[in-house]
Chains A and B, each alone.
Chain A
Amino acid sequence: MESWLTNADLQAIWLTVRLATTTTLILFLLGTPLAWWLAKSRAWWKQPIGAIVALPLVLPPTVIGFYLLVALGPHGAIGQLTQSLGLGTLPFTFWGLVVASVIYSLPFMVQPLQNAFEAIGERPLEVAATLRASPLDTFFSVAVPLALPGFVTAGILSFAHTVGEFGVVLMIGGNIPGVSRVASVQIYDYVEAMEYANAHRLAAVMLVFSFLVLLAMYLWRPGKRKGI
């Protein structure tokens, strides 16, 4: 492998994996309660919130990146906050990329989970209540196991979508080796520098990875048991 991919490539791949893993874990923590609320709430502002969550699906990454850059920057609201907390500013750091990726991949976590929670329906939750389970207990002992395929889909999609991110990374992270130069940016650099052979190798790795992820998702269908 090492003779095949350069150290810079490996560094970019490692950074990409680290970013996607961190982002996916954070998204599980944020997206699960949000998806549950969207699935169960009857509040009128549920639809506007749902639309905001879906915005990254249609907005150009540069638009998201631009607003984030402004908000996280030294004069932005969030930037002022992070500075006052002694954290400095987030743009052009790994954690700045994480914040951007969480927002960018949010719909890929929330929508499969919301669909899975809605598909459960009220009945199993009512049954659990008549069997003495509190709402929180019901969530973990009934809703999560029944929505497990949704969790797997949401996790894979969020991870893969973060790996495939490019525009937002360029806007908010720049192109700093080991900090923000992820695989997709690395490929862009190779092409800019006319190093097509290097670009080919890394692009092939990304292509195979993406295909395998999607293949795994199509093959993996738990809960679809046979019988009546």
Chain B
Amino acid sequence: MQDIAVTCQIDWPGFALDVDLRLPGRGVTALFGPSGSGKTTLLRCIAGLERPSRGRLLFKGQIWQDERTWLPTHRRPLGYVFQEASLFPHLSVLGNLHYGLKRSPGARPEGLERAIELLGIGHLLARQPDTLSGGERQRVAIARALAVGPQVLLMDEPLAALDLKRKQEILPYLERLHDELDIPLLYVSHAPDEVARLADHIVVLDAGRAVASGPLTETLARLDLPIRLGEDAGVVLEATIGAIDDEWHLARVDFAGGNLWTRDRGLPVGHRARIRVLARDVSLAVADPGPSSIQNRLDGIVDSLGDDEHPGLLLVRVQVGTSQLIARLTRRSAAQLGIATGRPVRVQVKSVALME
């Protein structure tokens, strides 16, 4: 009863959405897919901003929608962050934050104080929205949504309207939300790097249908899906900083199955972090290749093979300890090396992205 069960059917001219999902009641769930895949529409259905022709929504045991019930948006215990901050221009920052708080009998002022602290907007309270930068506005919008004391936070591509610099400014705050909020967060995005950083669970949408739904690491390691991620196919691993090499400015990240060296980002030993390894940065060898500039080498066993977008390419999933990596090879090199399921291989990792 602690999860979110959503059935949503919409049939508009030129667009159809038909999903039946169970989403976890905690952590960050990414609704991921290309534009037009229906991810925003699905989020709007959950918020009650769109009314599906047939739908059913059970939120942690509360009926938000079924054949007889339709809970309007203002009576659903949710917070919503739109793509553009959409602050009320006639109210100050504080007025915006109080707007929802005043109307939520259950919400406590401490919740607002915590939201202001979480998003670092204490110095902006007296300002008018039009004097804020895009990043500041979006942080206020997130705090405003949190101030109502929601039981779920819905975010519709909150970073999409921002430039790279503003994104980098907000991402740490989103990570804090991920770590500190005990409510589920549904996050719509088409950016694989945001999903890799923030999500625990991922729903992949395509042309109005959910083509996959599952824990992030497992789902990203599925070979039938990376096609949809294109160049960004790869895996995300939970890791810990295991050692720092001060002389060479490198950090060792330990994950279940081995360790990899990457640039030292100043994180202390013992810090938990996510690493992302893209398929294009992984190469395979059947014997030890000898000295090479690629020093991250792991032993693994080929687990399965899958098609890539291009007929000349192949995706190979390799089991390394209890973790899985995906490598992108040409079909020719795979054939020449005799890559097949069960074959032991040396895995060379050219680059590792530390997500924090």
Which residues of A pack against B, CB within 8 Å? 123-124, 126-135, 137, 141-142, 145-146, 148, 223, 225-228
| B130 engages A227 (CB within 8 Å) | yes
Partner of A146, one of B48, B74, B80, B90: B90
| A223 engages B89 (CB within 8 Å) | yes
Besides the contacts A126-B49, A130-B79, A132-B103, what 7 more A-B pairs have beta carbons closer than 8 Å? Answer: A123-B84, A128-B99, A129-B72, A131-B99, A135-B74, A141-B99, A226-B130
- Per the 8 Å Cβ criterion, residues 27-85 of B in contact with A are 47-49, 72-75, 78-80, 82, 84
| A134 engages B88 (CB within 8 Å) | no
| A142 engages B88 (CB within 8 Å) | yes
Contact with A along B112-150 (1 / 0, CB 8 A): 000000000000000010110000000000001100100
How far, in Å, is A137 (CB) from chain B's closest CB? 7
Cα distance A137–B103 in the bound complex, in angstroms: 10
Cα distance A145–B99 in the bound complex, in angstroms: 14
* 11 contacts across the A-B interface (CB closer than 8 A): A124-B86, A124-B88, A126-B82, A130-B73, A132-B104, A133-B74, A133-B103, A142-B88, A145-B90, A223-B89, A225-B130
The number of A-B residue pairs with CB atoms under 8 Å apart is 64
Cα distance A130–B48 in the bound complex, in angstroms: 9
Question: Is B100 positioned at the interface, with any CB of A under 8 Å from its CB?
Answer: yes
Which residues of B are found within 8 Å of A130, using beta-carbon distances? 47, 49, 73-74, 78-80, 100, 145
Interface of chain A, main secondary structure = helix
Determine the residue in chain B with the shortest Cβ distance to A222: B90
| B100 engages A132 (CB within 8 Å) | yes
Which residues of B are found within 8 Å of A135, using beta-carbon distances? 74
| B74 engages A132 (CB within 8 Å) | yes
Number of chain B residues whose Cβ lies closer than 8 Å to a Cβ of chain A: 26
| Given the contacts A225-B128, A228-B130, A129 and B88 also touching, CB distance less than 8 Å | no
Which residues of A are found within 8 Å of B80, using beta-carbon distances? 126-127, 130
Cα distance A148–B88 in the bound complex, in angstroms: 14
How far, in Å, is B68 (CB) from chain A's closest CB? 21
Cα distance A141–B100 in the bound complex, in angstroms: 11
Cα distance A127–B97 in the bound complex, in angstroms: 12
| B49 engages A129 (CB within 8 Å) | yes
Which residues of B are found within 8 Å of A137, using beta-carbon distances? 103
Which residues of B are found within 8 Å of A134, using beta-carbon distances? 74
Cα distance A171–B131 in the bound complex, in angstroms: 55
Cα distance A31–B103 in the bound complex, in angstroms: 29
| Given the contacts A137-B103, A141-B99, A132 and B86 also touching, CB distance less than 8 Å | no
Contact with A along B145-170 (1 / 0, CB 8 A): 10010000000000000000000000
Determine the residue in chain B with the shortest Cβ distance to A225: B130
How far, in Å, is A135 (CB) from chain B's closest CB? 8
Cα distance A125–B73 in the bound complex, in angstroms: 11
Cα distance A187–B78 in the bound complex, in angstroms: 63
Which residues of B are found within 8 Å of A227, using beta-carbon distances? 130-131
- Output the residue of B72, B78, B100 with the most chain A CB within 10 A: B100
Which residues of B are found within 8 Å of A133, using beta-carbon distances? 74, 99, 103
Which residues of B are found within 8 Å of A223, using beta-carbon distances? 89-90
Determine the residue in chain B with the shortest Cβ distance to A228: B130
Which residues of A are found within 8 Å of B48, using beta-carbon distances? 129
| A129 engages B89 (CB within 8 Å) | no
| A127 engages B88 (CB within 8 Å) | yes
Determine the residue in chain B with the shortest Cβ distance to A123: B86
| B89 engages A146 (CB within 8 Å) | yes
Cα distance A226–B128 in the bound complex, in angstroms: 11
Cα distance A148–B90 in the bound complex, in angstroms: 10
Determine the residue in chain B with the shortest Cβ distance to A146: B90
Which residues of B are found within 8 Å of A123, using beta-carbon distances? 82, 84, 86
Cα distance A180–B202 in the bound complex, in angstroms: 73
Determine the residue in chain A with the shortest Cβ distance to B83: A123
Which residues of B are found within 8 Å of A127, using beta-carbon distances? 80, 82, 86, 88
Which residues of A are found within 8 Å of B47, using beta-carbon distances? 130
How far, in Å, is B95 (CB) from chain A's closest CB? 10
| A126 engages B73 (CB within 8 Å) | yes
Determine the residue in chain B with the shortest Cβ distance to A226: B130
Cα distance A228–B148 in the bound complex, in angstroms: 28
How far, in Å, is B170 (CB) from chain A's closest CB? 17
Top 10 A-B pairs, shortest CB-CB distance: A131-B100, A130-B80, A132-B103, A129-B73, A145-B90, A227-B130, A129-B74, A127-B86, A132-B74, A132-B104
Cα distance A218–B99 in the bound complex, in angstroms: 32
Cα distance A85–B234 in the bound complex, in angstroms: 81
Determine the residue in chain B with the shortest Cβ distance to A130: B80
How far, in Å, is A152 (CB) from chain B's closest CB? 14
Partner of B148, one of A131, A145, A148: A131
Cα distance A111–B94 in the bound complex, in angstroms: 34
- Per the 8 Å Cβ criterion, residues 83-111 of B in contact with A are 84, 86, 88-90, 99-100, 103-104
Determine the residue in chain B with the shortest Cβ distance to A227: B130
How far, in Å, is A27 (CB) from chain B's closest CB? 24
Partner of A131, one of B72, B75, B103: B103
